[in-house]
Amino acid sequence: MISWIVIVVLLVAGVFAIKMNHLRHRIFIVFLIALALFLYSSMALVETQNELDFTTTEGFFNAIKVYTGWLANGFDNLKTLTGNVIGMDWGSTNASFFEGSENK
The rounded distance, in Å, linking the Cα atoms of 48 and 56 is 17
pLDDT value for 80: 92
More confident site: 11 or 74: 74
DSSP labels, 59-92: HHHHHHHHHHHHHHHHHHHHHHHHHHHHHS----
The mean pLDDT of 47-62, rounded to a whole number, is 85
pLDDT value for 98: 67
Cβ neighbors of 89 (< 8 A, separation 6 or more) are none
Predicted confidence (pLDDT) per residue in 6-48, tens digit = 777 777 777 777 676 566 677 777 787 788 888 888 888 888 8
Predicted confidence (pLDDT) per residue in 79-101, tens digit = 999 888 888 777 766 666 666 55
Regarding pTM above 0.85, the answer is: no
pLDDT value for 96: 65
